[in-house]
Structure 1
Amino acid sequence: MTETAQGFLGIMTGRRQGNPPIAEPEFCSQLSAAAPLFDLKVLVFHPEDVADNGSSITGYTWSGGHWQQTVAPPPDILYNRCLYSSPQEKKAAAAALSALSRTVPWSRGLPDKWRVYELLRRSPAVASLLPETRLYTGPDGLGSMLAEREYGVFLKPKAGSHGKRTLHARLLGGKEGGGLSIRGRDRNNGAFRLHFRTLDQGLSWIHRFTGSRRYIMQPYLHLTSSRNQPFDVRVLMQKNGRGAWTLTGMAVRLGGCGSLTSNLHGGGTAVAVLPFLLAEYGATGAELHEELAAAAAVLPPLLEETCGRLGELGLDFGIDAGGRIYLLEANSKPGRSVFRLTGDRRAAKLAAENPLRYARHLLLHSPAGRRNSSYNTLRYRQENEINGS
C-alpha cells in the first residue's frame, strides 16, 4: 500500500427514525464529507445489514449533500458506534463483528463501569480520583451504605448511558418526616421523585426498579454549581494521525436546577470550561483546568494496557465545592455535541476529523489494514462501476 492508496472506513451504528434511519446522522455526515481529505471512503450501516458470511454490507454513503443506499464489500477499518439498548441489538452487533473478523477494528470497547473501576483503582496515580464504588447486591447492602452516608447513595447501571435509570436515595431525618427519598431518571430519561414512609418500602421499590440489571453504588457527591445546577467536565481524548493520544477539547455539561444529572440527553446544556471554572472557583479555576488535562492524559494508556487498543475516550470529571476532582465515567463511544453547544469550533472540527486521521494511520501501519486496503478498494471501485456510479 502506498501513501496515496485509498481506504474504506465502515461506521456501524444503531437505528433511529429519519432518512436514512441511522443514529448520529450529523456526525456521520461530517465524517463522510471530510473523508476524501484523508483519501478515505465511508459507509454507514446497521449490524443486521451485514451478510452472514461478511462478504457484503448494505449501507449508506454521503454524496452530493445527501445519502445514498448502496451495497459494498467489507471495509478495511470498522468504527463501531453502536450503543446497545437491548440484548437483541447487542447480539446483532456481535454477529456483525464476527462476520467482519478480517476487518481492522478502529477501537476496542471498554468493559462495564464496575470493571473499569476495578482496573483503575489499582493505579496509585488514578485511585485518588475515584469515588468509593460498590456493587449493588440487594436491599441489605444498600441499606447499610445509606446508613453511612448523610447525603445518600447514587445508583447507576453497570452498562448504562446518558443518565438513564439512575437513582439518588437518601434517608430522611425526623424533621423531614422520616423514610426514604428517591429521585431519578426512568428508561426514557424522564425525571421523577418519590417518597416512602419507611426504609423497607423504599428499598423494596428500588430492588424492583433495578430488576435484572446490574448496578453500582457510590456516595452521593455534591457536584453542583453555585446556582444549584449539577455539572461535570467532559474531556475528549482522541488519537491523531500519528496514533498518539491528544486532548481534543473540554466542556462543562450543566443540568437544570435541582436535576439529578448533567447529561445532554437528559435536558442539560454545555458551556466553555475555563470561564466556568474561574467563575465558580476564582483563581483556583485555572489550576483545576490544568489538573483536569493532566488527569485526562494519564487515563487512556492505563485503560489500553488491559482493555486493548482504543481510539478515543470521553472522560467525565466532577468537581466538588472544595475543588476536589473525581473521575465519574470513561466512555469509549463518546458524543461530541458539547463543542457545538459551547461554540468551540476548533474542538468540534478536531472531534469530527481525528477519527479519520486515526483510521488513515491504521491503514498505513496495521499489517491487516495494508493487506485489506488495496483489495477492498478495488472491489469497491469495481462494484461502483458495475452499478454505474
Structure 2
Amino acid sequence: MTDTAMGLFGIMTSRRLSNPPIAEPEFCSQLCRAAPQYDLEVLVFNPEGVAADGQSVRGYIWINGQWEYKQAAAPDILYNRCLYATPGDRRKAAAALNALYRTLPWSRGLPGKWQVYEILRRSLKAARWLPETRLYTGTGDLGTMLAEREYGIFLKPHTGSHGKRTLHAVRLNGKQGGGLSLRGRDGENKPFRHAFSRVADGLDWIHEFIGQRRYIIQPYLQLTGNGGQPFDVRVLVQKNGRGAWSLTGMAVRMGHRGSLTSNLHGGGTAVPALPFLLAEYGNTANDLIEELEEAAALLPPLLEEACGRLGELGLDFGIDAGGRIYLLEANSKPGRTVFRLTGDRRAAKLAAENPLRYARHLLLHSAAIRKQQRRQFRYRRENDINGS
C-alpha cells in the first residue's frame, strides 16, 4: 500500500485461465484507476493468493496501464466477488475468508434463492412482486405443478448465476402428441432441447439433471416483448459514500427470440429501459418505472435486515404482457456491463465507483468506532486509577 492511501481495498475473484488469472478484469481495472480519488489502493487476488495465516496476500495491482504482480499485507477491507462453479471453489474461498477474519467485509452477501424468497414473502409489500415458488422435492410435486400450468414450469438452481442449468418444462396436449417438452441451458450455458413421448420419462430425466443440487420451481412466466424476445429489467442499487442505498440505474436485458433467458452471459444484449418500456407498454411505461423504483427502495433494507450488511444488489425484474412486475432474482455480486452496452455513462461511472465510495465510508466509520472504543477504555482506566 502506498503512503498516501488510507486503506487497501481487496477484491477477491474466481480464478480464470487468463493473464492475469482474475475474473472481471475490466471492472477491476476501473476500480484500480479510480481508487486514488478516494485515497484507496486496490489489490485483486484469487483465494489461492491468501497466506494460510492471513497476514499477506499475493495478487495484482493496475499500474501504468497494465497489471503488475504484488505481495501485500492483508487488505483493510475485502469485497468477495467469487462465483462458485464447483464445491472446491467454494471451499477455497471459505478458507481464504477464514484466514482474513481480521479484514473488514465490504458486504455479507445473500443466501440462496429459496432463502431470499422466504425472507421477502414475509413482507406484504414485497410479496406482491414474488412469483409462486416451491423447493424441488421430487418428481411427484413437479408432475402436479406441470399438470396445473398451461405454460409449464421453470426450474433454476438454488445457487448459481448467468442462467446456467436452468430448465423450462411443459406438458404437450393431445394435438401436440402428448409427452413432455424440455429446453434449457447446461452447466456451460449452452442451450439444449429434449422431447419425451412419456411424461414419466421426462420427469426422470429432470430428476437426473438436477442430481444432488437444490432447485426451486416457479410457474413459467410469459416475459417476452412484442417481437418474441425474452427480456427483464436489471436494476442496480448500491451503497454510496454516506453508506445509504441509492439507485444507480436500470436497463433492459434482451435475449434472442426463442431463447430461454435474457442473461448477457447467454448471448443477450441490453438497451435503455424507458424507451423499451414505452414501445412495449405505451403510456403505462412511466408507472412501471415508478414501481421498479419503489421495489428498489423497499427490497434492499429487507434483505439487509435478515442477511447482514450489504453493499450492492442487482435486482432482476420480469414484466408480463399485462404490466405485472415479478422479482426474478436478487444478486449480491452483480455485473454492471448493461450500462456500457446501453451507453449510460453516468450509471456506468457510478456502478464502477460506488464500491470505492462505500469502502471509504466503511473505513472511516470503523476508524471512528475504534477511536471511540479507545476513549472509553481510557475513561474506564482513569476511573479505575482514581478509585471512582
Task: Place the TM-score, normalised by the shorter chain, in its bin.
Answer: over 0.9
TM-score, length of structure 2 as denominator length: 0.93
Work out the CA distance in 1 between the residues paired with 2:293 and 2:326.
13
Q: In the TM superposition, what whole-angstrom CA distance separates every residue of 1:341-381 from its partner, at most 9, and x where no partner exists?
A: 0000000000000000000000100249868xxxxxxxxxx
State the match for 1:222 in structure 2. 222
Q: Percent identity?
A: 73
Report deviation, 1:217. 0.2
Work out the CA distance in 2 between the residues paired with 1:270 and 1:175.
37
State the match for 2:109 in structure 1. 109
Report deviation, 1:17. 2.2
Q: Work out whether residues 9 and 78 of structure 2, in 8 Å CA contact, stay in contact via their aligned partners in 1.
A: yes
Q: With a CA cutoff of 8 Å and minimum separation of 6, indicate the structure with the bigger relative contact order.
A: 1
State the match for 2:251 in structure 1. 251
1:320 corresponds to 2:320: yes
Report deviation, 1:19. 1.4
Q: Work out whether residues 104 and 368 of structure 1, in 8 Å CA contact, stay in contact via their aligned partners in 2.
A: no
Q: Work out whether residues 234 and 316 of structure 1, in 8 Å CA contact, stay in contact via their aligned partners in 2.
A: yes
Work out the CA distance in 1 between the residues paired with 2:192 and 2:368.
50
Q: Work out whether residues 5 and 36 of structure 2, in 8 Å CA contact, stay in contact via their aligned partners in 1.
A: no
Work out the CA distance in 1 between the residues paired with 2:5 and 2:164.
43
1:11 corresponds to 2:24: no
Q: In the TM superposition, what whole-angstrom CA distance separates every residue of 1:103-142 from its partner, at most 9, and x where no partner exists?
A: 0000001000000000000001100100000011111110
State the match for 1:198 in structure 2. 198
State the match for 1:386 in structure 2. none
Q: Work out whether residues 104 and 369 of structure 1, in 8 Å CA contact, stay in contact via their aligned partners in 2.
A: no
TM-score, length of structure 1 as denominator length: 0.93
Work out the CA distance in 2 between the residues paired with 1:304 and 1:79.
16
Work out the CA distance in 1 between the residues paired with 2:248 and 2:169.
36
SS at match of 2:290: helix
Work out the CA distance in 2 between the residues paired with 1:218 and 1:64.
49
Aligned length: 368
Report deviation, 1:18. 1.8
State the match for 1:294 in structure 2. 294
The list of structure 1 runs, each at least 4 consecutive aligned residues, that deviate by more than 4 angstroms after superposition, is 367-371
Structure 1 residues 83-232: aligned runs within 5 Å:
83-232=83-232
Structure 1 residues 236-275: aligned runs within 5 Å:
236-275=236-275
Work out the CA distance in 1 between the residues paired with 2:310 and 2:131.
24
Q: Per the alignment, do residues 368 and 171 of structure 1 end up closer, same or farther by CA in structure 2, a change over 3 Å counting?
A: farther
State the match for 2:72 in structure 1. 72
Q: Work out whether residues 237 and 296 of structure 2, in 8 Å CA contact, stay in contact via their aligned partners in 1.
A: yes
Work out the CA distance in 2 between the residues paired with 1:284 and 1:265.
30
Structure 2: tracts of 5 or more residues without a match: 372-388
SS at match of 1:48: helix
Q: Work out whether residues 110 and 331 of structure 1, in 8 Å CA contact, stay in contact via their aligned partners in 2.
A: yes
Amino acid at match of 2:237: M
State the match for 1:63 in structure 2. 63
Work out the CA distance in 2 between the residues paired with 1:256 and 1:370.
53
Work out the CA distance in 1 between the residues paired with 2:18 and 2:195.
40
Structure 1: tracts of 5 or more residues without a match: 372-389
